[in-house]
Chains A and B, each alone.
Chain A
Amino acid sequence: MGSNMAECHPVAFRWPMKAKLNGAKLIHVDPRFTRTSAVADLHVPIRAGSDIAFLGGLINYVVNSRRWNTDPFFKEFVVNYTNAATIINKDFKDTEELEGVFSGLGSFSEPPGWPYNGFQGRYDTASWQYERDPKPPGPKTEDLIARRAGPPFDDLVRSLKPGPAHRDPTLQNPRCVFQILKRHFGRYTPEMVEQVCGSPKDKFIQVAEALLANSGRDRTSAFAYAVAWTQHTYGVQMISCCALLQLLLGNVGRPGAGVMALRGHAAIQGSTDVPTLYHSIHGYMNAPSALRPHESLRAYMAAETTPTSYYGNTPKFLVSYLKSMYGAAATADNDFGYDWHPKILGDHSHIATFAAMAEGKVKGMCCVGQNPATSLNGSATRLALRQLDWLVVKDNWLTETATYWYQAPEVKDGRVHSGDIKTEIFFFPSTQIAEYDGSFTNTQRMLQWHSKAVDAPGNCRTDTWFYHNLARRLKKAYAGSTAPRDQGWNNLLWEFDPDPGVKPIYPGEPDALKILREINGYMTADPHQHLPGFAALKDDGSTTCASWIYCGCYPAPDQNMSARREPDPPGVPGAHLKWGWAWPANRRVMYNRASADLRGNPWSERKRWVWWDPTFVNPPDPKTGIAPPHGKWVGYDVPDFAVTKAPDAKPKPDGIALDALSGTDAFIMRGDGRGWLFVPTGLLDGPLPTHYEPHESPVQNMLYPEHQMSPVHKVWSAGKPWNPLASVGDPKYPHVITTYRLTEMYLAGAMSRWLPWLAELQPELFIEMGKALAAEKGIRNLDWVIISSPRGHIRAKALVTDRIGVMQIAGKPIHHVGMPWHWGWAGLSTGDVVNDLTAWVGDPNVSIHEGKAFVCNVEKA
């Protein structure tokens, strides 16, 4: 669901096809019959944007099914490995009680410093929390912050420990998570799914039965999703809903299970790990923010550390990161330079930045490997670009972003005159991947190193060259400044030049392995002593490590683990641990403690992955000389657990981080060691997934008529003329449109539309529409069609097909159309910009736009 894997991840799709040859059943739930559906055993049509209703229907079906209620595996997994038994605060009110919203909903007002956050509302999450015993006695966090305690910061972390949460392992307490979720999804029946999603009831039941039959001790099922689950105003909740279902089915932390995010295109996984994102620093730590209690190093630690999970080590990750930023200048006395670190003011994501840009609040922009002129709400994006003083485009070709000032549709039709655009545009020709050294991180979180194979043509330069030299020039520009705001630049550690005598791959190119070393980490006193893994990180400045999750990928100067290419031999149920290197700690299946039962035995021989070997003789501790008791977690994969912690181990009363968890707390990144069916913290739009309609929808919300859409989703530039939005059921835009990608093309086209061999495979933009709609509109195959949304209109050729079509939604026929969005005016294969139709509305958690479900009209041109 939410993925067209065969078309968009064809190389990874090799494995579902291998599984199919081994007898696996493949199901594709999608608004279109795609190349994935073509090889699936079952395709189930679904109205774009209604996935939570479908998944919620599966949850309801599962928890009321005979199989789930009679096979003891499910209860054992769910009671012990999830928070099903945990009791929630008595003030909590569910959407069933409040007609579509949770307790705590309030309004949001934009902060004056950065009024581009777009929230339509805001939840106070206090009532979503676990019911707990009082906090244990001990030093108060505020006091420790005030007296600048630490390093070490263990006392600060310990002071954050809450009292134990209340539980009812019988799952009968009406306020336990399981009973809450059972009520929450009680109305998500197969009949309701058919009405809301347009998915035939019999096919929905086939899916539910297939999942039940293929889950349990001896079998697992996996879900794969991609951006079709993210690009919604409730995308995170779709994924959360799937995780909930998979936890109920015991399909997490086990081989052949899980919720697989299909990503990795253009190193997207890597770009969030070692982030180009605004809201996190390395390793998914939140970026210091002016809007959170982040005013000092210790305040940040207090706000961002979960004391009773592996995240209890956050101070070690953070201090090692600050050492990588500021080197020797970062000391315990100056809080490791924390005050030099920039803080965010709010939502600086893509759309928020363009919303600010449209109002003239952004002076300049570097577009590297990105083509926003064909991006979301394209005409608004280009309006924003025209407000810039300067724009840098670094790409392989003169993309639409480099040429919008004289070739955009609004320039060609005379609405905008090139001469009126004040922006100065600089173009830097860019290298391709084969022309430099570096690493890719794929969707399995696996780093794979690649070496330069050929010289780049002409003066093309790498992205690392660009930023390396930009940073050096900026450091020079700030040198000598005494302004406090410039001290981050002055103290920035930036030592990536090749060693003397080593020839760079291009003049002025940094040494890619030195960047990898900084990411992996080293002993501060000796950069040649690389860190073996994140367990070695310290909170006193003695270790330097940019990204704790990558620690261990380059453990010695002669051991670049990401360059390894040794597969396991055929026939061995291995994890290919010597192929590349996967974070964290080269682990291939996360939370794999859950692949064994409470006592540490594999759930079944067939699904053996990681287990407890009670006879294993542990070597003595090199420091103390004392050998731990016998027993160790072993298996095919790197265990995701304290390796000598026995299954019957109890939490240490005063323990922090992993010491606060027991031998059955498999979900070591969660404060209670359990997989979360109910999400008390971390999500802005509710602890349980709830069906809402897309911002633009032709139908009313059938489940919650009082709340059509997510009450806290984002609308940027609300009310501005460049972001008009359709109202519910707007007769001018009666059809559902979804946008997508094709195998033959890549992203915004810079890597495909200019290549003759790819251009001829998909030479023009098209719209896919059903035969009924085509007949109604008098449109024949290949006719030119005008597609319009409140944001604009475009032209495309019609592909009339039965692979997409009409669905009955609440008894009303709703036509679906679909358009691939790769095109623009430049290159060999050209077409209108499909994103000229999309809106600046998005998800409250991650600020992604809603490109997968909105409304449009189509007419014959």
Chain B
Amino acid sequence: MPEAMGFFTDTTICIGCKACEVACKNWNQLPATNGGVTELSGDSYDNTRKLDGTHWRHVKFIEQFEGPYNGRWLMMSDVCKHCVQAGCLEVCPTGAIIRTEFDTVVIQSDVCNGCRACIAACPFGVIDMNPAAGTAQKCTLCYDRMEVGLEPACAKACPTDSIQFGPIAELRTRAQKRVDQLKAQGEKRARLYGDDPNGPLGGLNSFYLLVDEPEVYGLPRDPKLPSRNLKSSGVLSAATGAVLGLVALVGLRKRRMDEIGGGGERGSEN
């Protein structure tokens, strides 16, 4: 079996160009929202807003300022984390979600029945329905490209190598060196997120270098698997009900957040 492969995203050299988003859509032939005719979000330069069934890469823009010109502008290209312990895979009733020989997590569209369980199970909000396909979809880490020895389209397109693709073990070493360099240069907040195989979800095969708390980037500090709620198999249906209820709540809250964001206050939150 080949080594575990994945992404290391160094957010400190991300220039927010969104080439990853376009390369992903191009390779995977994902449609633009409403044919490309959409509205300005008002949330910095982020008009994608979230990962979903047709946006498998999403560049976040976080403005941290205290007055004019006084602050920093963080950018981060978000993607499926390809968790070593993957919630989506755990809950998929049809077996559509598989772990590949590259230790990545892939949804097989032709086996997916569109039940949406994985959407709720993902602690990162990565998965959503692709309306064109009628199935749940997300980043495949370009499984089809990897099979023939090519790197994923986003990593290939990234002009600054903010997105790096390779064997996870090698990426972890490289990432730690970069953290050490940044700390030596005075960036004390530099840290890795998801690189620890003993950490949450057994480590993420798409991990990040951040220069602030994970919450700043919209990442959960302590992502959990849905199965943590399962006392035993006997209460599965109850637990599922609870999870679905939670999903509904999360969905409602998220919609409220979006409405607030759309109302124009997002720019001043930071």
Which residues of A does B touch, CB under 8 Å?
A: 6-7, 10-11, 13-14, 17-18, 20-21, 33, 35-39, 43, 45, 742-744, 755-764, 766, 770-772, 780-783, 797, 799-807, 828-829
Does chain A have a CB within 8 A of B229? no
Q: A439 to chain B: closest CB distance in Å?
A: 22
Inside 8 A of A742's CB, which chain B residues have their CB? 45
Stretch at the interface among B65-73, B102-110, B135-143, B245-253: B65-73
Q: B30 to chain A: closest CB distance in Å?
A: 9
Q: How far, in angstroms, from A45 to B67 measured CA to CA in the complex?
A: 13
Sample 30 A-B pairs with CB under 8 A, ordered by A number. Answer: A6-B17, A13-B160, A14-B159, A17-B161, A21-B13, A21-B181, A33-B71, A35-B15, A35-B45, A35-B75, A37-B73, A38-B15, A38-B16, A43-B69, A743-B15, A743-B17, A756-B32, A757-B21, A757-B36, A759-B36, A763-B40, A771-B268, A781-B267, A782-B262, A783-B264, A802-B65, A802-B66, A802-B71, A828-B37, A829-B36
**Contact at B68–A770, with CB atoms within 8 Å?**
yes
Inside 8 A of A829's CB, which chain B residues have their CB? 36-37
- Known contacts: A743-B16, A781-B267. The answer to whether A755 contacts B42 by CB under 8 A is no
Does chain A have a CB within 8 A of B101? no
Which chain A residue lies CB-closest to B18? A761
Q: A355 to chain B: closest CB distance in Å?
A: 35
- Known contacts: A14-B160, A20-B13, A758-B22. The answer to whether A763 contacts B69 by CB under 8 A is no
Checking A7, A797, A800, A803 against B69 with a beta-carbon cut-off of 8 angstroms, the contacting residue is A803
Which chain A residue lies CB-closest to B12? A39
Which chain B residue lies CB-closest to A203? B69
Inside 8 A of B71's CB, which chain A residues have their CB? 33, 802
Q: How far, in angstroms, from A20 to B74 measured CA to CA in the complex?
A: 17
Does chain A have a CB within 8 A of B47? yes
Q: How far, in angstroms, from A610 to B38 measured CA to CA in the complex?
A: 54
Which residues of B does A touch, CB under 8 Å?
A: 12-19, 21-22, 25-26, 31-40, 42, 44-45, 47-48, 63, 65-75, 159-161, 178, 181, 262, 264-268
Inside 8 A of A802's CB, which chain B residues have their CB? 63, 65-71
Known: A782-B264, A799-B42. 5 other contacts (CB 8 A): A38-B16, A38-B72, A743-B15, A766-B40, A801-B63
**Contact at B18–A744, with CB atoms within 8 Å?**
yes
Checking B15, B33, B47, B63 against A39 with a beta-carbon cut-off of 8 angstroms, the contacting residue is B15
Inside 8 A of A807's CB, which chain B residues have their CB? 68
Q: How far, in angstroms, from A46 to B44 measured CA to CA in the complex?
A: 22
**Contact at A764–B40, with CB atoms within 8 Å?**
yes
- Known contacts: A39-B15, A764-B40. The answer to whether A33 contacts B73 by CB under 8 A is yes
Q: A825 to chain B: closest CB distance in Å?
A: 13
Q: B56 to chain A: closest CB distance in Å?
A: 13
Q: How far, in angstroms, from A219 to B15 measured CA to CA in the complex?
A: 26
Checking A6, A755, A805 against B15 with a beta-carbon cut-off of 8 angstroms, the contacting residue is A6
- Known contacts: A39-B12, A757-B32, A763-B47. The answer to whether A10 contacts B40 by CB under 8 A is no
Q: How far, in angstroms, from A797 to B38 measured CA to CA in the complex?
A: 14
**Contact at A761–B69, with CB atoms within 8 Å?**
no
**Contact at A33–B69, with CB atoms within 8 Å?**
yes
**Contact at A756–B35, with CB atoms within 8 Å?**
yes
Inside 8 A of B31's CB, which chain A residues have their CB? 756
Q: How far, in angstroms, from A764 to B38 measured CA to CA in the complex?
A: 8
Q: A50 to chain B: closest CB distance in Å?
A: 15
Q: How far, in angstroms, from A797 to B44 measured CA to CA in the complex?
A: 12
Inside 8 A of A744's CB, which chain B residues have their CB? 18
**Contact at B73–A799, with CB atoms within 8 Å?**
no
- Known contacts: A38-B15, A758-B22, A761-B21. The answer to whether A17 contacts B42 by CB under 8 A is no
**Contact at B15–A13, with CB atoms within 8 Å?**
yes
Inside 8 A of B65's CB, which chain A residues have their CB? 801-803
Checking A7, A35, A43, A759 against B32 with a beta-carbon cut-off of 8 angstroms, the contacting residue is A759
Q: How far, in angstroms, from A780 to B267 measured CA to CA in the complex?
A: 10
Which chain A residue lies CB-closest to B33? A760
Inside 8 A of B13's CB, which chain A residues have their CB? 17, 20-21, 39
Inside 8 A of A21's CB, which chain B residues have their CB? 13, 178, 181
Inside 8 A of A20's CB, which chain B residues have their CB? 13
Inside 8 A of A37's CB, which chain B residues have their CB? 73
- Known contacts: A38-B73, A801-B267. The answer to whether A7 contacts B63 by CB under 8 A is no
With a 10 A CB-CB cut-off, give which of A803, A807, A828 has the most chain B CB atoms. Answer: A803
Q: A829 to chain B: closest CB distance in Å?
A: 7
Inside 8 A of B266's CB, which chain A residues have their CB? 781
Which chain A residue lies CB-closest to B46? A761
- Known contacts: A757-B22, A761-B21, A763-B39. The answer to whether A35 contacts B68 by CB under 8 A is no
Checking B47, B181, B264 against A760 with a beta-carbon cut-off of 8 angstroms, the contacting residue is B47
Q: A780 to chain B: closest CB distance in Å?
A: 5
**Contact at A805–B69, with CB atoms within 8 Å?**
yes
Which chain B residue lies CB-closest to A758? B22
Inside 8 A of A36's CB, which chain B residues have their CB? 15
With a 10 A CB-CB cut-off, give which of B21, B25, B69 has the most chain A CB atoms. Answer: B69
Q: Which 10 A-B pairs have the closest CB atoms?
A: A805-B68, A756-B36, A756-B32, A802-B65, A759-B36, A781-B264, A782-B42, A38-B73, A6-B15, A17-B160
Q: A690 to chain B: closest CB distance in Å?
A: 27
Q: How far, in angstroms, from A780 to B263 measured CA to CA in the complex?
A: 9
Which chain B residue lies CB-closest to A829? B36
Which chain A residue lies CB-closest to B73? A38
Inside 8 A of A45's CB, which chain B residues have their CB? 68-69
Q: B19 to chain A: closest CB distance in Å?
A: 7
Inside 8 A of A782's CB, which chain B residues have their CB? 40, 42, 262, 264
Q: How far, in angstroms, from A758 to B69 measured CA to CA in the complex?
A: 28
Q: How far, in angstroms, from A742 to B264 measured CA to CA in the complex?
A: 22
Which chain A residue lies CB-closest to B66? A802
Which chain B residue lies CB-closest to A753? B36
Q: B121 to chain A: closest CB distance in Å?
A: 28
Which chain A residue lies CB-closest to B16? A35
Q: A459 to chain B: closest CB distance in Å?
A: 25
Q: How far, in angstroms, from A614 to B142 measured CA to CA in the complex?
A: 56
Q: How far, in angstroms, from A43 to B73 measured CA to CA in the complex?
A: 11
Q: A242 to chain B: closest CB distance in Å?
A: 22
Which chain B residue lies CB-closest to A806? B68
Which chain A residue lies CB-closest to B186? A41
**Contact at B73–A7, with CB atoms within 8 Å?**
no
Which chain A residue lies CB-closest to B68? A805
Q: B177 to chain A: closest CB distance in Å?
A: 10
Q: How far, in angstroms, from A146 to B66 measured CA to CA in the complex?
A: 73
Q: B262 to chain A: closest CB distance in Å?
A: 8
Q: How far, in angstroms, from A744 to B61 measured CA to CA in the complex?
A: 14
Q: A396 to chain B: closest CB distance in Å?
A: 15
Q: How far, in angstroms, from A755 to B69 measured CA to CA in the complex?
A: 33
Checking B36, B45, B74 against A755 with a beta-carbon cut-off of 8 angstroms, the contacting residue is B36
- Known contacts: A10-B17, A744-B18. The answer to whether A797 contacts B159 by CB under 8 A is no
Inside 8 A of A755's CB, which chain B residues have their CB? 36
Q: How far, in angstroms, from A4 to B39 measured CA to CA in the complex?
A: 25
Inside 8 A of B265's CB, which chain A residues have their CB? 781
Q: How far, in angstroms, from A806 to B68 measured CA to CA in the complex?
A: 7
Inside 8 A of A806's CB, which chain B residues have their CB? 68
**Contact at B15–A7, with CB atoms within 8 Å?**
yes
Inside 8 A of B25's CB, which chain A residues have their CB? 757
**Contact at A14–B32, with CB atoms within 8 Å?**
no
**Contact at B16–A804, with CB atoms within 8 Å?**
no
Inside 8 A of A10's CB, which chain B residues have their CB? 15, 17, 19, 159-160
Inside 8 A of B38's CB, which chain A residues have their CB? 759-760, 763
Q: How far, in angstroms, from A73 to B90 measured CA to CA in the complex?
A: 67
Which chain B residue lies CB-closest to A830? B37
Inside 8 A of B159's CB, which chain A residues have their CB? 10-11, 13-14
Q: How far, in angstroms, from A426 to B21 measured CA to CA in the complex?
A: 37
Q: How far, in angstroms, from A756 to B160 measured CA to CA in the complex?
A: 24
Q: How far, in angstroms, from A806 to B25 measured CA to CA in the complex?
A: 39
Which chain B residue lies CB-closest to A831? B40
Q: How far, in angstroms, from A756 to B34 measured CA to CA in the complex?
A: 9
Q: B46 to chain A: closest CB distance in Å?
A: 9
- Known contacts: A17-B160, A772-B68, A781-B265. The answer to whether A759 contacts B37 by CB under 8 A is yes
Q: How far, in angstroms, from A792 to B258 measured CA to CA in the complex?
A: 35
